[in-house]
Amino acid sequence: MLKSLRNTAIGVVLAAAAATAIGQPAKAKLVLPAVSILFAPIYIAEDAGYFKDAGVDLEVSQLAGPAALNALIGGSGDFTTIAGLIQLRAAQRGQKTLAIAGLQENATTEIVLSATAAERLASAKTPVERARALKGLTLAVDAANGLPHAYLRFLGRQAGIDADRDVRLVFIAPPGMDAALQKKEVDGFVFSSPFTLEAVRRGAQLWISGPRGDFPDLNPTTYNVLVARDGFCASAAATCRSPVSALNRSLALITNEPAKALALLTKRFDKMDPELLKLAFDSFQRNTPARSMPMGKAFDRTVEVMFGPQEDRAALKAIARTLYTDEFVTSGK
């Protein structure tokens, strides 16, 4: 029996080695936390075949908010793209993962309010005043402890309010946020384009906006990083190098040939108004690097501004230094 099992195991290893030898792509799973233009580099790399060209057969799926990272922690996923803040919070609980490429350092989260709420708060002019005016409102975010929720907490600290106590939060998937706003079930919501832009087109007001330059001191931040399951890259370095290479092709296309990039996204977002998609894409492109980036400065800044003053930032920075490597960014040229 043991001999049979040993022979089977050897056969599996030999089969995997043979597949690698004949150039078959390695298989891996990437879990996204939402549907958003923020993940355009992933969509483009998948639809244009860049992942397979780079040597990885990447299965892309979706789980809302922090659940995407939990898939890696639980072993059911190999990669995700998520905010470094979320990765750090998990590491504080002993749930470590490894960021292998910085995909965006400019925060592009926004808050939209209903026309009624915005008119009532019209005396608030500066970004800080507008953040303070959120006190008492009902706002939607996509998931507890996700990036929009964290962004709202950051705004609250700048304005001297507690976003978890002074704002009533409801959790709604992004496609349903504008509908809730139209039905007056919420006063506004926190997310990013195209959902925020769509709401504005229907009469809502853009209240606070990262792309507009509100609260620029937040940047550079680990707004979107490619994260691998703990230990995965140590045993499968080539499989980690491949998606970074593919995403560099996507980022270069977005920067240098935006019309081609938008055409690929149009197929992905085929039910979206083309004009709205273009507006969302243009905003995203202005905040997107031409290639994946090292992450040290962005992680340091994330710790400085996205965590409360009561937290041990020196300890957090020490943790952060164990949560990323620039090996695949610098070797993936």
Phi and psi at residue 185, to the nearest 5°: -80, -20
Give the span between the Cα atoms of 89 and 286, in whole angstroms: 28
pLDDT at residue 242 in the model: 97
CA atoms within 13 A on the CB side of 8: 5
pLDDT at residue 21 in the model: 43
pLDDT at residue 64 in the model: 80
pLDDT at residue 17 in the model: 40
- Cβ proximity of 127 and 138 under 8 Å: no
- Cβ proximity of 177 and 140 under 8 Å: yes
* Secondary structure class of 227 (helix, strand, coil): strand
Confidence check: pLDDT of 155 > 80: yes
Q: What's the pTM?
A: 0.87
| Residue bearing the bigger pLDDT, 331 or 286 | 286
Q: 190: which strand partners?
A: 111
| Residue bearing the bigger pLDDT, 34 or 228 | 228
Q: 139: which strand partners?
A: 169, 188
Span 43-87, pLDDT tens digits: 999 999 999 999 999 999 999 878 899 999 999 999 999 999 999
pLDDT at residue 6 in the model: 39
Confidence check: pLDDT of 39 > 60: yes
Lowest mean pLDDT among 34-43, 120-129, 229-238: 34-43
| Residue bearing the bigger pLDDT, 147 or 141 | 141
pLDDT at residue 14 in the model: 33
pLDDT at residue 147 in the model: 86
Lowest mean pLDDT among 20-29, 196-205, 241-250: 20-29
Confidence check: pLDDT of 282 > 50: yes
Give the span between the Cα atoms of 174 and 4, in whole angstroms: 51
CA atoms within 13 A on the CB side of 314: 0
Cβ partners under 8 Å of residue 317, min gap 6: 299, 300, 303
DSSP H helices in 122-168: 127-132, 147-159
How large is the average pLDDT for residues 89-105?
96
Confidence check: pLDDT of 9 > 50: no
Confidence check: pLDDT of 88 > 90: yes
Lowest mean pLDDT among 14-18, 183-187, 215-219: 14-18
